[in-house]
Structure 1
Amino acid sequence: MIKAYSQRLMPPYSGFAQIVESETARALTLDVRSWEIHFLYDAEVNLNKAGQTGRRRFIRVQTLEHEAMCTIAETGSLHGTAIDERIVQLAEFLVGAEYPFPSDDLYEYWILDPKDDSPLALVFSCNTPDNFSNFPTKTEWKALPAAVIPIEYTEAEKQNKNPPVNYRVEQMVTKTAGYFPKAKWFKRGSDEVDYFPPMMIREEWGDEQKNNLCQRYIQRLAPRLLMLPGLELECRRKLESSAGKHALEVERFHKLYPEIADEKRLNTILVEARIRRSTNGDLSQ
């Protein structure tokens, strides 16, 4: 039996991994362009009050382009070489799959504001309490680094030789959380939209400069944040507007957007991406 689901890649948040899993293998992708293939090598089975539960361990074996997976599904081979049946089974499922897959990481680990215990920033998420033990040992929020999503400096920041916006936002969360940060697991429900920050980090900091830094980070992360399910339409519309500045990233990830607020705008962004690639323009964003 094949199971298909999506799960946030974090910490730090970098998007939604699409995962196809069989009894013996799995395939993961962040953009439906290439798939990382893993084979099961170990499985633990324990007994709890709910019955059997287990942790499955996988080992990475290779990476295949989506076109290669389609060829494997049709022929069972690639470049004249027979392919392992475990990969063929996954490939056959992927040919007719619709993206994005349902998200099931309902359990979320949030750093809390020490003043009122309100959610400050999301650190980690998973799909079952059995995975709580996989959580990183440090209770800290990490921003996606400038090496992955560079954020343009203002002239004043250049003159002052300020650190990247990404790092400064990370420090904002760290300082607000305090020396001994308080954190808590939540099981999310559909009635909690207003309680949890939709961008997975608090946006109101009580200081104009901090608010601005946070918004610059969110706007730069927009092509990846658009993968989030359950966003309100106006929120999605703002993210699409911000994402337009990074057309090639939108082109990479747009197949995994669960909704689109403005189809015309998205199509314009995709056309721009194709033009930039065809003319060998700036491919960095």
Structure 2
Amino acid sequence: MASGCVALGLYPVIKAHSQRLLQPFSAQVQIAETELARALSMDGELWEFQFIFANGRVGGPQKGRFIRAAHIRQRDLQSVIDNPTTEEGVVDDRILELARFLVGATLPFDAADRYEYWLLDPADDSPLALIFSCTDASEMASFPKLTEWRALPAAVMPIETTEAEQSNAYGPVNYRLERAVAERAGAKPRARWFTRRYNDEESFPPFLVREDWCNDEQQTLCQRYLHRQAPRLLMLHGVGLEERRRMEWAAKANALDVARFFPLYPEVADKAVMDKIRVEARLRLAAGEAPYVMGRRDGVHYQ
């Protein structure tokens, strides 16, 4: 893992970190930024370059807002650096500065979002489900005071349903878990900010939503959702080895997703299991199979 600030000779200081993309959680987004631009990636393969949008008009967009400038795959970064002139013109220096950093960067970057906004369990005011996170305490006031947790949509992460569920026209597992969390939060849900210390005294759900449910149906819904989300959850930092091993086994059912997100896994608990999953993914990709998400946008990059 790598993060922090890097000065590249005459080039500007580049800061690098990662943070959870919420809500809903869809990835541990990697961010490299200067004062003028930034690059973001959900998988370490495709980078989205953004420029700070600012102008001198009164009432217009202010510095700190970003606009998308380009998408470049990791394998193409060196080519862009070596050949910055294209048919469309010269590649912007702000992109080249970040590209030079990224070609030599080690992923994943360290997680920096230690300020967390959790929906609370009314039974004991303990964390129930993570809604937001941020990297600086000064950012907390800018977030809306939401008390609703959102699951990753079925359009992005479909979860297989049984024949009985289909015949009874049950909704997707994603939305049913969303409703279960809302019911557990109560008629007057509350949420609050926490500052994470990542020590043994803390008690937070390792996979961002509580897994202990009194109702068997809700317990099953939660596990089905988390097991399907496992390839993404393995990007999380600060997860214990036993919890990580449990989710690695769950990820076996979605090898292509594991192959996509593996470069951003901060550690591996069971190398043998992970190697088998990746071999399966390579064989399936070689046979022409494509991950479900490819060809569609599966998240909104951090704003």
TM-score, with normalisation over the residues of structure 2?
Answer: 0.85
Between the aligned partners of 1:282 and 1:25, the Cα distance in structure 2 is 32
Paired position in structure 2 for 1:51: none
| Cα distance change of structure 1 residues 71 and 221 upon mapping to structure 2, 3 Å threshold | same
Structure 2 CA distance, aligned partners of 1:41 and 1:93? 22
Is the alpha carbon distance of 1:80 and 1:133 closer, same or farther for their aligned partners in structure 2, counting shifts above 3 Å? same
Deviation at 1:149, TM superposition (A): 1.0
CA distance in 2 between partners of 1:94 and 1:65 (Å): 11
1:56 paired residue among 55, 61, 64: 64
Aligned to 1:170: 178
Is the alpha carbon distance of 1:226 and 1:65 closer, same or farther for their aligned partners in structure 2, counting shifts above 3 Å? Answer: same
- Percent sequence identity over aligned pairs: 48
Picking from 142, 150, 172, the partner of 2:158 is: 150
The answer as to whether partners of 2:121 and 2:128 remain within 8 angstroms in 1 is yes
Between the aligned partners of 1:35 and 1:233, the Cα distance in structure 2 is 29
Structure 1 match to 2:104: 96
Contact residue 147 and residue 189 of structure 2 kept, 8 A: yes
Letter in 2 for 1:120: L
Report runs of 4+ in structure 1 exceeding 6 Å deviation.
Answer: none
What's 1:37 paired with? 49
Of 262, 265, 269, 1:257 maps to 265
8 Å contact from structure 2 (residues 107, 264) kept in 1 = yes
Match of 1:110 among 118, 126, 150: 118
Cα-to-partner distance string for 1:22-78 (whole Å, 9 max, x where unaligned): 1111000001111111111239xxxxxxxxxx9722211221222222222344445
Aligned equivalents of 2:200, 2:127: Cα separation in 1: 12
Unaligned runs of 5+ in 2: 1-12, 56-61, 294-303
**What does 1:1-285 correspond to in 2, within 5 Å?**
1-42=13-54, 56-77=64-85, 81-136=89-144, 138-191=146-199, 194-281=202-289, 283-284=291-292
Q: CA deviation at 1:193?
A: 6.2
Per the alignment, do residues 215 and 61 of structure 1 end up closer, same or farther by CA in structure 2, a change over 3 Å counting? same
SS in 2 for 1:184: strand
- Cα 1:97–1:4 change in 2 (3 A) is same
Cα offset, 1:180, TM superposition: 2.5
Matched letter for residue 211 of structure 1:
Q
- The 2-side partners of 1:249 and 1:124 are apart by 24
* 8 Å CA contact retained: 1:228, 1:257: yes
Maintained 8 Å contact 1:222/1:243: yes
By how many angstroms is 1:194 displaced?
A: 4.7
Pair 1:282–1:4, CA change in 2 (3 A): closer
Q: Please give the alpha-carbon distance, in whole angstroms, between the structure 2 residues aligned to 1:207 and 1:225.
A: 24
Q: CA deviation at 1:80?
A: 8.6
149-158 or 100-109, larger mean C-alpha shift: 149-158
Deviations, residues 109-139 of structure 1 (Å, cap 9, x unaligned): 0011112101110000000122224424532
One-letter amino acid of the structure 2 residue matched with residue 123 of structure 1: I
Letter matched to residue 61 of structure 1? A
Q: CA RMSD in A?
A: 2.0
Q: Is the 8 A contact 2:53 2:63 kept in 1?
A: no
Report the TM-score, using the length of structure 1 for normalisation.
0.91
SS in 2 for 1:123: strand
1:154–1:132 Cα change, 3 Å: same
Q: Secondary structure at the match of 1:163?
A: coil
Aligned residues: 275
